[in-house]
Amino acid sequence: MKVSIIIPVFNERATIGEVLDRVLALPFKKEVIVVDDGSTDGTTEFLSEYQPDVIRVHFNRLNFGKGTAIRIGLTYVTGDIVAIQDADLELVPEELVQLLEAFKDESVDVVYGSRFLCPNPGIPRLTRIANRFLTGLTNLLFGSRLTDMETAYKLFRRKAIQGLELTCRRFEFEPEVTAKLLRAGYAIHEIPISYRPRRAYEGKKIGWGDGITAIETLVRCRLGRSGMPGR
């Protein structure tokens, strides 16, 4: 089983090197697709030099957003499984191994790493409230039983993710891909993961405006087409 790991990155020079080192050390067959989304902090220059054979780097001249970067990454994937890996080290790359274990069951098509299935005392209260609301809204609209719709660790069989008609540009990737997977009939399996949240002064980029966009995205996907033909 070959895994395509998409890493969208924007201004993460402080962490991108460690992320790549740890991802490359993971004990499974992989290709790593890095999409540098218009970085201006030295990330671009670092990636221009850090390119082992297993890594493919796409450079955007402008910053378009995480959703756009992931959609670009999806055009390159050739693996059986597609995994999204953020470049900020809020999540633990080594835990991708346990998430991939679920795909040994051929009936499993989508796996999410949930930050709320195990104790994570470091998660700020406002983050918990926001996630609980957005995940609850997802469950209400689509009849699911998720605990962490906004998780950054999302893994898919390639046929599932490439069959969706995604239009996201920024952080609405999370609600859009979740909504369209659920509308297409895919079951989402959750596995507990660790989480070390960053604060705004450490480079955290998502804000309340993105929460409003997430709500709009969920409602639009519920009222509109699934973005994928029936399975």
Number of domains in the chain: 1
Residue 200: closest CA among 192, 190, 187, 210: 210
96 domain residue, yes or no: yes
143 domain residue, yes or no: yes
Instruction: Answer positive or negative: Cα dihedral of 83, 111, 158, 162.
Output: negative
Note the Cα 168 to chain centre separation in Å.
12
In the predicted model, is pLDDT for residue 1 greater than 70? Answer: yes
Digit-coded pLDDT (tens) for 167-207: 999 889 999 999 999 999 999 999 999 998 766 534 445 66
The 10 Å Cβ neighbour count of residue 227 is 18
207 domain residue, yes or no: yes
> Which pairs with CB-CB distance under 8 Å and at least 24 residues apart come from 51-54?
52/24, 54/24, 54/30
Query: Across all residues in the chain, what is the average pLDDT?
Result: 90
In the predicted model, is pLDDT for residue 229 greater than 50? Answer: no
229 domain residue, yes or no: no
Residue 71: closest CA among 144, 177, 184: 177
47 domain residue, yes or no: yes
Q: What is the pLDDT of residue 208?
A: 63
56 domain residue, yes or no: yes
What is the arithmetic mean of pLDDT over 99-118?
Answer: 96
110 domain residue, yes or no: yes
Q: What is the pLDDT of residue 202?
A: 45
In the predicted model, is pLDDT for residue 121 greater than 80? Answer: no
What's the CATH number where 208 sits? Answer: 3.90.550.10
**207 is in which domain, residue-wise?**
3-223
28 domain residue, yes or no: yes
In the predicted model, is pLDDT for residue 122 greater than 70? Answer: yes
Digit-coded pLDDT (tens) for 33-85: 999 999 999 999 999 988 777 789 999 999 999 999 999 999 999 999 999 99
Q: What is the pLDDT of residue 108?
A: 98
Q: Return left, alpha or beta for 136; rule: phi > 0 is left, psi -120 to 50 is alpha, else beta.
A: alpha
Rg (C-alpha) for the chain, rounded Å, is 17
